[in-house]
Amino acid sequence: MKKLLLLTLLLVLVLPLENQAQRKKSKNKSDQSISKDTKNKTPKYSDFVKDDTKTYEGLFKVHENKDSFLYEIPKSFFGKEMLLVTRIKDIPAGLGGGYVNAGSKINTQVIVWEQFKNRILLKVKSYNAVANDSLPIYKSVRANNLEPIIYAFDIKSQNADSTAVLVDVTKLFSTDVKAITGLPSFFRKNYKVRRLDASRSFINSIKSYPKNIEVVQDFTFEADAPPSNRSTNTITIRINQSMILLPENPMMPRIYDERVGYFSLGNVDYSSEALKADDKRYIRRWRLEPKDEAAYNRGELVEPKKPIIYYLDPATPKKLRKYIKQGVDDWQKVFETAGFKNAIMAKMPPTKEEDPEFSMEDVRYSSIRYVASTTRNAMGPSVSDPRSGEILESDIIWYHNHLRSYRNRYLLETGAANPSARTLDTPDDEIGDMMRMVIAHEVGHALGLPHNMAASFAYPTDSLRSGSFTQKNGIAATIMDYARYNYVAQPGDKNIRFIRQLGPYDHYSINWGYRKIQNVNKPEDEVITLNKWISEKADNPIYRFGGQRFDPSAQTEGIGNDQVKSSSYGIKNLKIVAKNLPNWTSNQTNNYDDLDELYGELLSVWGRYIGHVAGNIGGVYEFNKKPEQSGDVYVPVSKIKQKESLNWMLKNVFETQDWLLDKNILNKIDETGYTSKLGRYQDRGLSMLLNYRTLNRMIETEVIKDEFYSASDMVRDLRRGIFSETNSTKNVDIQRRNLQKSFIEKMSILMNDDLAKNTDISSIVRGELETLKYQLNTASKRAVNRITKYHYKDALVLVNNILNPKN
């Protein structure tokens, strides 16, 4: 019995140990099996790149499977800088209120691909703050400008020789990644966007080229207030992502100077030995290098190593192609001033037979796109290297309906003096010349040149009535001004050029920005020569650069150096055009559509002439100078010119313009709204004068000028003119009644403006309203008609409410 108990006890102790050993042995076998299976299941290159996979060779290999896109990124590209440009490729109607077009850039950022352990990171690299990497402060700049990570990818596999990794980019481009979105936050807010609908969003295509990869995304967002097709609660937008390899060796930058107009980019350089970081700014320009540098240095014309070539969109109508080509080729003579011949040209793209690989999407090719759109616009955008300002490529965009705008303005602004403009069927050669000059203007932008609105002020107004002068010099010193037509020339003036053209400033600015300077190794070495070129031309207004703001000599659409005289000529012409508008439109077409459209645009032209003169009042000329140059930078407009301008406004704007209230037009195009059409422009004219900025500049002028047109005198003169009827028994017509109420409204706004409070402005407003109160009270007791009497009493109540608010 004891033996039996002992045996049982041994079995109890031994069996668990054996079971445990068996389990351990079994587990080891299982682990080995799992390890073996796992090893066998390690993803292979062939699991992703299959026989039916579409592969695009280029910067990276791009592999397209049924439901995914993969980048095969060479490891040698890790850390290489690339430019990621987000553009709107196609847009819904009304997006951005008409100020956003297909092709508009949404974002530009430098990116790098980096490996971190078993992941690939896509990071944004900023050039807002820089330092020489050999200096100790470089470490601090890096530490205080940590690069954000846009996306992190798992490495799917490697190629056969382990020189490249595979990452799946499908989610990056098919989900709503804010860093590369084509629908910025202000659009989302305005249109009440809720979310991206994944079921209606997809990658349209990804194509790889030698220096860039192009991604097209079709995104659909749910939105409560879309810009068009509101019943759908949907915004669908097509976005283009361009990833461009930046040059291995950046071009040497050219330092920006505000005295010569160039688009620019800047950064904060901590390499400076001064007591602060330097704000550095460089111009944007193409890299033009002479083929034969020795010949170039001898002053010979030399071809560049790589000319600027624009390829025309095959969709461009054949009859327009020669004008577009001329608009590009016109810049050849300009570049000769900088020492280059055949530096820029336009070509038709090669056929499939000539070059099956050619694509307008390839960053190596710049293009002029012809877009079938009702948008009336043209654009000259470009993509540049943020490290140096080098322009890498450009795609100029021409919208089909843009020529209609030019036809209309040609008729309205030159029709009085130019018989060939008095038609809806503008002659082909003239409409072609307009298109040629629009293209030349957009090419100027693509070369790095911004608008130079001061260039039209360089020519005397009366010279624009001379045939010999305009045929030689055009109507402005540069094509980069918005001086489209010669509206100054009068009936009877002979041999006038009515359409703009390139001018002397274009030669000057291209030479300044593109001429290669000998024996320099860094941007700072060029400054002495660049300054010398500016100093040589500094006293000639033809070579002045000026931007819009408060400067009346740098206004959009203006021509001539005397705005009062130019606008007087312009209105004189408009009166002739208005009288003949039905004969030139509806009488020819047997409908009123064109009459309606052109009358509306005629009011806009009148409004521009108003703006040119109003700019003188409280205006300050800006002359960009260095301390080594003589003269002031800011010069207020003279008292005489300001008073002359106000008198012009009282006569040509604030008096009722009966010539614009032509019954032969108004009762053909609308059943109502006649007074409001005119009133909008009169109201705008008042706003140009009665606002804080204008009045404050006039007040500040007292500090720097002995003789000045004071703000109090201007508001007094304005009040007297607008309420002149109160000094007589003259009845007030409907246009003037509305204008007088508008004046009171503007004064109320000024009285309640936080910036104007506790300044002379509030004192001036109160004083003038007190005087007006007396005028209205007296006038309401005179023998005037009933509506005038009611109007005076109503206006009196409005004034009292401003002076003595109830709350």
List, as one string, the DSSP characters of 783-806.
Answer: S--HHHHHHHHHHHHHHHHHHS--
Residue 218: Cβ within 10 Å count: 17
Helix and strand tally (H, E) in the chain? 24, 24
Cα separation values, 301 from 130, 183, 298, 338, Å: 37, 47, 9, 9
pLDDT for res 553: 96
Handedness of CA 477, 481, 483, 484 (dihedral sign): positive
Backbone angles phi, psi at 289, to 5 degrees: -125, 130
Full-prediction pTM beyond 0.85?
yes
Q: How far does the chain reach from its first CA to its final CA, in angstroms?
A: 113
Classified as helix, coil or strand, 378 is strand
Beta strands in 136-192 (DSSP E): 149-154, 157-158, 164-168
Pairing of strands 119-125, 149-154: antiparallel
Return the number of other C-beta atoms located less than 10 Å from residue 539's C-beta. Answer: 11
* Tokens describing residue 228: 């068009």
The string over 315-346, giving b where at least 16 C-beta atoms fall within 10 Å of a residue's C-beta and e elsewhere, is ebeeebbebbbbbbbbbeebbbbbbbeebbeb
Contact 332, 345 (CB under 8 A): yes
Nearest to 477 by CA among 542, 560, 539: 542
Q: Which two tokens stand for residue 304?
A: 């560049």
Distance CA 25, CA 485 (A): 95
For residues 487 and 490, what is the distance between their CA atoms, to the nearest angstrom?
A: 8
Residue 290 tokens read as 């002479």
CA separation for the pair 776, 475 (Å, rounded): 47
| Of 640, 235, 260, the residue nearest 454 (C-alpha) | 260
Query: Which residues sit opposite 196 in a β-bridge?
Result: 221
**CA-only gyration radius of the chain, Å:** 35
Take residue 132 and report the two structure tokens written for it: 């020489």
Res 645: pLDDT: 98
**In this predicted structure, what is the pLDDT of residue 126?**
76
| Pairing between β-strand 278-283 and β-strand 264-269 as defined by DSSP bridges | antiparallel
Provide the residue ranges of all domains of the chain, joining segments of one domain with +.
2-42, 49-245, 294-584, 614-803
- Residue 329's H or E segment, with its range, is helix 318-329
Alpha-carbon span 192 to 233, nearest angstrom? 10
Across 458-546, where does the E strand assignment appear?
A: none
How far apart CA 194 and CA 514 sit, in angstroms, is 48
Residue carrying structure tokens 């307009």: 434
For 554, residues 6+ apart whose C-beta sits below 8 A from its C-beta are 453, 454, 457, 546, 547, 548, 622
**How many angstroms separate the Cα of 338 from the Cα of each of 511, 516, 759, 805?**
4, 8, 52, 66
CA-CA distance, 515 to 533, in Å (whole number)? 11
DSSP H helices in 663-785: 663-669, 674-689, 692-704, 711-722, 734-751, 760-779
Q: Is 370 helix (H, G, I), strand (E, B) or coil?
A: strand
In single-letter form, the type of residue at position 731 comes to N
Distance from the Cα of residue 476 to its chain's centroid: 22
- Look up tokens 């102790």; give the residue: 13
Question: Taking the chain (807 residues) in consecutive chunks of 10 residues, what is each chunk's mean pLDDT?
Answer: 44 46 48 45 87 94 94 96 89 76 81 94 75 47 67 94 95 93 89 92 93 93 90 92 93 95 77 59 95 96 96 88 95 98 94 82 84 70 89 85 87 97 94 93 95 96 97 97 96 96 98 96 95 94 89 94 98 97 93 94 96 96 93 94 98 96 89 89 96 96 90 97 95 96 97 91 96 95 93 96 87
Q: Which two tokens stand for residue 16?
A: 């668990």
Q: How many CB atoms lie within 10 A of CB 633?
A: 13
Q: What is the pLDDT of residue 456?
A: 94
Q: What is the DSSP string of 408-442?
A: HHHHHHHTTT-GGGSSSS--HHHHHHHHHHHHHHH
Sign of the Cα torsion 342, 345, 347, 353 reads positive
Which H or E element spans position 216? strand 212-223
